Amino acid sequence: MRAQGDASRAVRHLLRAAAEVAHDPALVARLVRSTGLSAEGVRFALERSLELDATDAEVAALVAHATRAPAVHVVLSANVFTAPLRAIALARASSDAVTVRPSTREPVFAAALVAAAADPSVTLAESRDVGDVASGEIHVYGRDETIVAVRRAARPAVVVRGHGTGLGVALVLAGDGLDEAARAIAEDVVAFDQRGCLSPRIVLTLGDAARAAELGRALHRALEELGRSVPRGELDVAERRDAARYAETMAFAGHVHRAERHLVGVATEAGPLLVPPPGRHVHIVAVSDVAGAQRLLGPIHPHIVAVGTGDADAVRSVVGQRVRVSPLGWMQRPRLDGPVDLRAIGPA
């Protein structure tokens, strides 16, 4: 039986390794290549979203979330580049035998972290087949279809914990200053170029269409301003195609603020929701009250991982406990107190 203190020490050791990795000057260029983010975007994420300043209470909470397992195999399929820290920390808190298969698309950070940690209990297993895992747990981070495939391939005795994809929603309250809210939302949008499951792609504002329009203008300005110091990386062809289509649709269905490296669509009426593709593309809708927000979000509720708002209590009553709720501007800085995706707690 491992003591909780052992697990906490292992997590602390990993955090020190992550800090070492984050300060490696050679890392940024490699991450630019693997993530598609700009160099400034990589630094922005390292400075603001890598959870190096966890308190003892947070680490204790993370350890408490972890279930003990004889072995854990971590499959990183689709995640933001800093995610391996939390994923490996959770696995390490669960077990003294952790193997990690990094994402084929972004293997840099996970490999660097494992190397820097030099923890004999954590090793890379780039080609390990999930069907070869004989016991313990598999923690898989990826699209639903990947999680389903891993569950199918895993042996019956192995517990598979899936951490799926998702999106974030920001809720601007009636009393919020729009410029201030827009600047905070822009910070949440710019991190990882909106490719994280916490990234807000939908912004609801309590009020009328005129307030939504004003917020749209403010967010357009805020994204332009922040985009000058943290430029967006390159989108691939499919991402650009989806963005162009979103822009055309919103030009018809409302109003769209187009910039070279972001889009802000403002719906004229609170009709059916349109979710923009990732890549600094934000959809704004006005809702009359929190109940209206709940109705509008109904079809995407299972996919919501995070809500940013100034009134956590009101939002919590709408979205429940399995959604991370944080102030605007802090959506991409979740505390290291357990999985990012609270929907994933417990085996399916």
Q: Is 133 in the site for other proteins (CB under 8 A)?
A: no
Q: Which DSSP symbol is given to 277?
A: P
Question: What is the C-alpha separation between 326 and 348, in angstroms, rounded?
Answer: 26
Give the binding-site size for other proteins (rule: CB under 8 A): 58
Question: What is the C-alpha separation between 300 and 285, in angstroms, rounded?
Answer: 15
Question: What is the C-alpha separation between 315 and 338, in angstroms, rounded?
Answer: 20
Q: Is 167 in the site for other proteins (CB under 8 A)?
A: yes
Among 25, 120, 156, 272, contact with other proteins (rule: CB under 8 A): 272
Binding mask 281-310 for other proteins (x = CB under 8 A): -----------------xxx-xx-------
Among 59, 80, 91, 97, contact with other proteins (rule: CB under 8 A): 80
Answer for the pair 286, 207: CB distance below 8 angstroms, yes or no.
yes
Question: Which helix (DSSP H) or strand (DSSP E) does residue 206 occupy?
Answer: strand 200-206
The nearest distance, CB 18 to other proteins, in angstroms, is: 18
Query: Segment near other proteins (CB under 8 A), from 52-60, 90-98, 130-138, 254-262?
Result: 254-262
Question: What is the C-alpha separation between 311 and 276, in angstroms, rounded?
Answer: 25
Q: Is 201 in the site for other proteins (CB under 8 A)?
A: yes
Which tokens sit at 129? 């087949």
Closest by CA to 305, choosing from 195, 206, 205, 215, is: 195
CA distances for 175 relative to 78, 171, 236, angstroms: 37, 12, 39
Query: Segment near other proteins (CB under 8 A), from 88-96, 216-224, 237-245, 326-334?
Result: 237-245
SS3 94: helix
Q: Is 278 in the site for other proteins (CB under 8 A)?
A: yes
Q: Is 252 in the site for other proteins (CB under 8 A)?
A: yes
Question: What is the C-alpha separation between 207 and 293, in angstroms, rounded?
Answer: 11
The nearest distance, CB 331 to other proteins, in angstroms, is: 12
The nearest distance, CB 335 to other proteins, in angstroms, is: 18
Q: Is 239 in the site for other proteins (CB under 8 A)?
A: yes
Tell me how long the chain is: 348
Question: What is the C-alpha separation between 83 and 13, in angstroms, rounded?
Answer: 17
CA distances for 289 relative to 197, 201, 207, 323, angstroms: 25, 19, 8, 20
Among 40, 51, 96, 106, contact with other proteins (rule: CB under 8 A): 106
The nearest distance, CB 235 to other proteins, in angstroms, is: 8
Q: Is 196 in the site for other proteins (CB under 8 A)?
A: yes
Nearer to other proteins, 77 or 99 (CB): 77
Nearer to other proteins, 7 or 304 (CB): 304
Q: Is 83 in the site for other proteins (CB under 8 A)?
A: yes
Q: Is 345 in the site for other proteins (CB under 8 A)?
A: no
Question: What is the C-alpha separation between 87 and 92, in angstroms, rounded?
Answer: 9
Backbone angles phi, psi at 35, to 5 degrees: -100, -25
Among 17, 21, 22, 35, contact with other proteins (rule: CB under 8 A): 35
Nearer to other proteins, 201 or 262 (CB): 201
Q: Is 184 in the site for other proteins (CB under 8 A)?
A: no
Per CB under 8 A, contacts with other proteins among 138-157 are: 141-145
Answer for the pair 220, 257: CB distance below 8 angstroms, yes or no.
yes
| CA 276 distance to own-chain centroid | 16
Which stretches of the chain bind other proteins, using CB under 8 A?
A: 35-36, 78-80, 83, 105-106, 141-145, 163-167, 192, 194-197, 199, 201, 236, 238-242, 244-245, 248-249, 251-256, 258, 267-268, 271-278, 298-300, 302-303, 341
